[in-house]
Structure 1
């Protein structure tokens, strides 16, 4: 068919199909499944065939740890940057994430994120633009399409707990930008491990005073006065709006961690 002027009409682009990453596999269209691997693992209702299938899941879980450890073993000093996947590209926090990651990478630190869009993309983009190692630890979710294009070292996980282990094991600190439940989960996971001394020398920076001040006030007020945390626990959190200050905190921790070791 041609138009009145003899030209071929422009082809209608196909509708974009929903897609998401399932571990190392990307699914779309008829290949989409209705549940995630984590969901099926934690499901306790239904037939008792889980007795026979759960032992085999252990091998898949084991493979995620092996893949993560093998890929990141020689990563070197790294900082994780967390924040909302919903942050728009033209927002100030996307810009801040990009600047933070650029400065960290320029100083020789690898940057680790969850590999998704929003703040994570901004951080991966900044690290890649600085010529650094831009790590993305993706997770199987029904509403995300996989690791963003700025990751130059990426792993897709099925299980949250395997992924969390990689964040904690291979990061020397966290910079946490505004985010939602996922960001809170990562933040409080780190604080719990620092509080219980499962990890040491681990700074946590909350970037964005206006966003985080209410949380810090609640912790300093209701939670502390109720005897549920100690006064020193509040000191684990460092608030700032300044990129240079956040980067300086991470670099200072790197220098302490890599300083001379005491003779045995």
Structure 2
């Protein structure tokens, strides 16, 4: 790497920005989770609670007055102009047209696509970024954004302020978010909300594996398969979400009031 390229490197860590030689060798999460000596934690870890607390306060402050929202997950590696990227743009657009804010991880790829679609449709586009060892700034299609140091604080914001999860094609990070959401709903840690997989060809193998390996071996209940819905149609994504919110409202108070965004 040339000195010029090195100088241009940037990393965001919460409210902090580092460039060039000032970029730390490790991330905040790495320093939190690394094993230390038998007494080293006494001098470091308790004080980290204050930094974690500040991140929670910042996230709550940014998102507490946000309208009903849908979180969209997907790979950062998908390139603009590809079919998956265009699918993400369509999904973000449909979510915005339905009156929901669109919340992503704020990065490139599928996240950028969903933010772009939402912003172009006049909806609120939100990005919740994360400090990573490599350069990744918030994408340019975000109206409100924050970069977190800690993955678990960022995940809290996704779950607390979203009324649905939409999962586009992605890798390990997307799978982590998908299964955490499914687990929270399955165990009633959160009110049942829809989790929609977009891309039947991409996700079909996962659904088949869950049915043949998990369900047939009794590792999940038959009803658990209903936690995940799958479609190729951005319009159907919104219909699934709206119907789920109406069903929740009917169960809770016998009417459709209070479900989903204001129309």
Please confirm whether the aligned pair reaches a TM-score higher than 0.5, indicating the same fold: yes
The counterpart of 2:173, out of the listed 182, 189, 192, is: 182
Structure 2 portions without partners, runs of 5+: 255-263
Larger radius of gyration: 1
Q: Find the residue that maps to 1:45 and give its secondary structure.
A: coil
Structure 1 spans left out of the alignment, 5+ residues: 1-13
**Counterpart in 1 of 2:205?**
214
SS of the equivalent of 2:253 reads coil
1:111 is aligned to 102
Closer/same/farther in 2, CA of residues 210 and 261 from structure 1, 3 Å limit: closer
In the TM superposition, what is the alpha-carbon distance from 1:258 to its structure 2 partner? 5.7
Q: CA 1:219/1:83 → structure 2, altered by over 3 Å: closer, same or farther?
A: same
CA drift of 1:44 comes to 1.5
Greater share of helix: 2
Which residue number in structure 2 is paired with residue 128 of structure 1? 119
Equivalent position to 2:93, from 89, 94, 102 = 102
> Which residue does 2:226 correspond to in 1?
235
Match of 1:251 in 2: 242
TM-score (structure 1 length as normaliser) = 0.90
Alignment root-mean-square deviation, CA = 1.7
TM-score normalised to structure 2 length: 0.90
Q: Describe the SS at the equivalent of 1:182.
A: helix
Alpha carbons of structure 1 residues 260 and 119: separation in structure 2 relative to 1, 3 Å: same
Return the offset for 1:216.
0.6
Q: Which residue of structure 2 aligns with residue 155 of structure 1? A: 146
In the aligned structure 2, how far is the partner of 1:258 from the partner of 1:177? Answer: 27
Partner of 1:85: 76
Shift of 1:26: 2.2
Question: Given that residues 176 and 183 in structure 1 are in contact (C-alpha distance below 8 angstroms), is that contact kept between their aligned partners in structure 2?
Answer: yes
Number of the residue aligned with 2:54: 63
Indicate if the aligned counterparts of 1:172 and 1:253 stay in contact, CA closer than 8 A: no
Number of residue equivalences: 250
Runs of 4 or more, structure 1, over 6 Å off, are: none
**1: CA distance between counterparts of 2:180 and 2:151?**
12
